[in-house]
Chains A and B, each alone.
Chain A
Amino acid sequence: MKGLADAALLAALAMGSVLGASALPQAGWPRRSPAAAILLWQAFGLAGGLAAVGALVSLGLPGDHLGVAHSLLHLGACFPGAAFRFPVAFGLVSALPALLLVFRMTCLAAGLALLASLCWVLIAASAAALQARRRQRALLALLAHGDPKVPGALVVDYPTAAAYCLPGLRSRIVVLSVGTLELLGRGELAAVLAHEHAHLRERHDLVVLPFTALRRAFPHSAMCAEAHRAVALLVEMLADDRALRGRPTRELVSALVRFGTAGACPAPAGALAAGEGDMAARVARLLQPVRPLPAAASAAVCLAAGLLVAATVALLVV
């Protein structure tokens, strides 16, 4: 009954990840150590997904076997021809094995479908992001120009304040609108640039991408939306922290406030609902600096994240 025990443990891990992920947004400590919190989010996502797939597949595969991953690779051996002929040959007498077989096939199909759809949304989200960035680069090549006020960044003639970065392997671009240059002073611009360069340097886009994919895969799941929002906010806080190194806090805060309240472009209804309160949270965190978690505590968080993923993988392959 190793298969059943595996399935139960994996289901427990999946449930644990879901419970953890639903409790994490209420916790206060993530804003003290965004990096550790991001790692924990990633562990919940990875372990939750793998464990859910693993639990379904191991329910679907009969008997004792060498781990879910191994069984999947030798699917033919797990369902020998006899297993399929057996219920048919014995007709009504063997209704139970037939039902069991249907149940197993259903679980196996559900597990594989979940795995395939998770992989697919990740690929689709990456492709969409790459395509959008390619289009941005092509347009920027035509429209953008440099400006001595913001060395290294591209400037677009547009009156509304906008600042963002285009990550990539070969080219990393920070883009500002003329509206931003007019809105912010020299120090504030430097803070914005430092913030964006932190995003580019640490590839924060790759951190957010799986959560964007998850939200697109389950658009009605409040938890996926919450996870995406929380991770996006933590990434911004992380970049805020990096931007503060060797720079007065007030430059970044006033840049954030001026930017947020410029209000030149009213967004369509509902567009901002996802981020409501996030800007205030970032500003409040900068104005009343919180002490980062003690080293031991953040090490414990990282260890817990590592153990969660390791336990899931171990159950899948052993």
Chain B
Amino acid sequence: MEILWETDAPLTVREVSARLTERNLAHTTVMTVLDRLAKKGFAKRQRDGRAWRYCPAATRETYVTELMLTALDQTGDRTAALTRFAQSVSGVEAEVLRDALEVLESNGGGDEGSG
């Protein structure tokens, strides 16, 4: 997928294999991977003579944004799919938290009594 993202023009299986020089993969392996990417909708393919040419369906940034928007729960669609570590807070609550951190740091290592 990285190869497809790095290249502007659609690539054939042979061209992708040629670019994967550091990993000596069989032609059929690359073909299977590209075929799977196309089936999952991550890559688009078009006929070029007897071969398929593959290109990414969307940019890397698009996918990262989709991933992180779900993760940060900003899609408005609250599902129980993920459990987040913490939410970002604003206003008064943020002030309270900053004060708490300051107290903690001024104690220099502070409370051990939590067990």
Contacts and interface: CB of A to CB of B under 8 A. Distances in A.
Greatest chain B CB density within 10 A among A128, A142, A192, A239 is at: A142
Name the prevailing secondary structure of the B interface residues. loop
Contact of B73 (A136, A255, A271, A280): A271
Interface in B64-113: 64, 66-68, 70-74, 76, 78-90, 93-94, 96-98, 100-101, 103-105, 109-113
Given A277-B93, A287-B111, A268 B74 contact: yes
A165 B83 contact: yes
Nearest to B107: A250
Interface string A66-77: 000000000000
A287 to B, nearest CB: 6
A260 B70 contact: no
B60 to A, nearest CB: 7
Contacts of B86: 163, 256, 259-260, 279, 282
Nearest to A276: B93
A164 B114 contact: no
A244 B115 CA distance: 8
Contacts, number: 173
Given A196-B85, A259-B86, A250 B98 contact: no
Chain A, interface size: which category? 35 or more
A59 B89 CA distance: 48
A128 B111 CA distance: 42
Contacts of B105: 254
B80 A143 contact: no
Interface of A: 125, 128-130, 132-133, 135-136, 138-140, 142-143, 156-158, 160-167, 175, 177, 192, 195-196, 199, 204-205, 208-209, 212-213, 235, 239, 244, 248-250, 253-268, 271-272, 275-280, 282-284, 286-287, 289
